[in-house]
Amino acid sequence: MPEKPNARHFVFQTPFGKGAFIFQESPFRILEVLLPRASMEKLRAALKRGNWGKPGIHPQAERLSEFISGYFNGKVEPKLWPPWEWLDLNGLTALQRSVLYATAAIPYGSVRTYGQVAAAIDRPQACRFVGTTLAKNPYPILIPCHRVIRSDGSFGQFGGGTDLKKSLIEREAALVSSKGRLQPYD
């Protein structure tokens, strides 16, 4: 697979391991977020599979890195995230985009079921479609697909694994319930 033109990647550290995001420099666009991996070798393998270019930095990439680091360190995300103008949604249908918009609207520390997201996009029978769309979410954390669970309360699938999904949900809930520990994002 040839490298994507103008693509760069940026690696970030989290309490769950190293993750990365892939971006295009000009105009700046986030192409994908890779969830934390247990080892740098696994992250490198994921980066090589996608041929995501060389390491790079950009002013918006630095802002994104600060946001992601803040998220993993318990800071409340700002209302303007995700920065929609930075996300490349061109390959998605209008219905898929509506699933991502509805998912992005789920508040920090809250969860919704696949059925609730389907109802939010006026397609109450489209639970499987919601699940399929979120399984392909190129922007986990920015579009918090980990906040969507099954109607029976089980966690369901997640690109970073069920354990990571459970940890993210529990961590957000704990931070929200201990209001004194929440820090606003600067």
Could you tell me if residue 44 is inside a domain? yes
pLDDT of 4: 59
Same domain, 100 and 66: no
pLDDT of 101: 96
Same domain, 52 and 125: no
Could you list the pLDDT tens digit for every one of the 186 residues in the chain?
A: 445 567 899 998 888 888 999 999 888 999 999 999 888 888 888 887 777 888 888 899 888 888 888 888 877 666 667 789 999 898 899 999 999 999 999 998 899 999 999 999 999 999 999 999 999 999 999 999 999 999 999 998 898 889 999 999 998 988 888 754 444 433
Same domain, 50 and 123: no
Q: Which residue has the tokens 């939010």?
A: 120
- Residue 150 belongs to a domain with what CATH number? 1.10.10.10
pLDDT of 184: 44
Q: How much is the pTM?
A: 0.88
Could you tell me if residue 82 is inside a domain? no
Could you tell me if residue 127 is inside a domain? yes
Same domain, 69 and 122: no
Distance CA 170, CA 172 (A): 6
Same domain, 63 and 100: no
Same domain, 62 and 115: no
Could you tell me if residue 84 is inside a domain? no
Closest of 26, 27, 10 to residue 65, by C-alpha: 10
The CB-based long-range contact list for 78-83 (8 Å cut-off, 24+ gap) reads 78/185, 81/142, 82/139, 82/142, 82/143
Domain end call among 76, 103, 129: 76
Distance CA 133, CA 141 (A): 15
From 145, 148, 164, 168, active-site residue? 145
What count of Cα atoms within 13 Å lies in the side-chain half-sphere of residue 5?
2
Could you tell me if residue 121 is inside a domain? yes
Could you tell me if residue 172 is inside a domain? yes
- Asked about 145 being catalytic, the answer comes back as yes
**pLDDT (tens digit per residue) in 25-70:** 888 999 999 999 888 888 888 887 777 888 888 899 888 888 888 8
- Domain span including residue 122: 91-181
